[in-house]
A and B are shown apart, each in its own frame.
Chain A
């Protein structure tokens, strides 16, 4: 490899942390269920980035395999979550999480 300098691990981890916090803020601040879902995807991807960075650091592929599994779980989660959102929208005509209080009796 002819690359003069590799990227420091701590930079990758810092980037991962920043993206995770952005996703967390999105979950806390927004009230649109779809945007909350997107923020959750952001957090999952931040965790994936940390996995890949550590896999590179330790020169092992196990981290990458784990990312593969996380992606699978995320795909299943998105499919089911969106189905739930569509169902709730049919029922309540809204996707704003503070107007959805089905369990409140």
Chain B
């Protein structure tokens, strides 16, 4: 059963990832990315990381992808045009490098350095979320606080950068 679920999620994930990279229309790419993230959330569930599966759906499939779609629609992009010798060369080089890297990974994997199944279920006495929360507020308290500062910097940076250059007075657009 678990293997079947793994197969379904893995095939969905790889297929949707390929569509993200290969599709010419950015909106379609973004929608396929949502499906890929949901499949990844399923994989997290298989690995007994319920909290992360939830956060994956909420943060990635929800917040980040909505941001992507907003920007794509705001920019009103047409389908990508990628013709000509230069692009063909670049595409060939990209695929070649990727396949090379994949071959290296396969070589390492074939050495059998990661044997055995993931350990059989030993569910923690308290829930996954509670355990992660305790870890966050004890051993990882300092990184957790740094994360909040990072997010603050991100908010301020996004607002400052997204506002654009100051326009001369009199030509101000009305606030959205």
Contacts and interface: CB of A to CB of B under 8 A. Distances in A.
B52 A68 contact: yes
Interface in A1-34: 1, 3-15, 17-19, 21-26, 28-32, 34
A82 B68 contact: yes
Interface residues of B, number: 87
B71 A34 contact: yes
B117 A6 contact: yes
Given A64-B51, A65-B132, A83 B36 contact: no
A100 interface: no
A68 B47 contact: no
Nearest to B44: A52
Contacts of A52: 43-44, 47, 49, 52
A22 B120 contact: no
Contacts of B59: 71, 75
A35 B60 CA distance: 16
Contacts of B123: 1
Main secondary structure of the interface of A (DSSP, over half): helix
B75 A89 contact: yes
Contact of A78 (B17, B37, B64): B64
A10 B64 contact: no
Nearest to B122: A59
A49 to B, nearest CB: 6
Contacts of B147: 69, 72
B80 A31 contact: yes
A68 B117 contact: no
A37 B68 contact: yes
A31 B112 CA distance: 37
B155 A21 contact: no
Interface in A38-95: 38-39, 41-42, 45, 48-49, 52-53, 55-57, 59, 61-62, 64-65, 67-69, 71-80, 82-87, 89-90, 95
B33 to A, nearest CB: 5
B21 to A, nearest CB: 4
B60 A71 contact: yes
Given A22-B18, A61-B131, 7 more contacts: A3-B120, A3-B121, A17-B102, A38-B20, A75-B151, A78-B68, A79-B154
Interface of A: 1, 3-15, 17-19, 21-26, 28-32, 34-35, 37-39, 41-42, 45, 48-49, 52-53, 55-57, 59, 61-62, 64-65, 67-69, 71-80, 82-87, 89-90, 95-96
Q: Which 5 A-B pairs have the closest CB atoms?
A: A1-B121, A76-B154, A28-B94, A26-B21, A29-B94
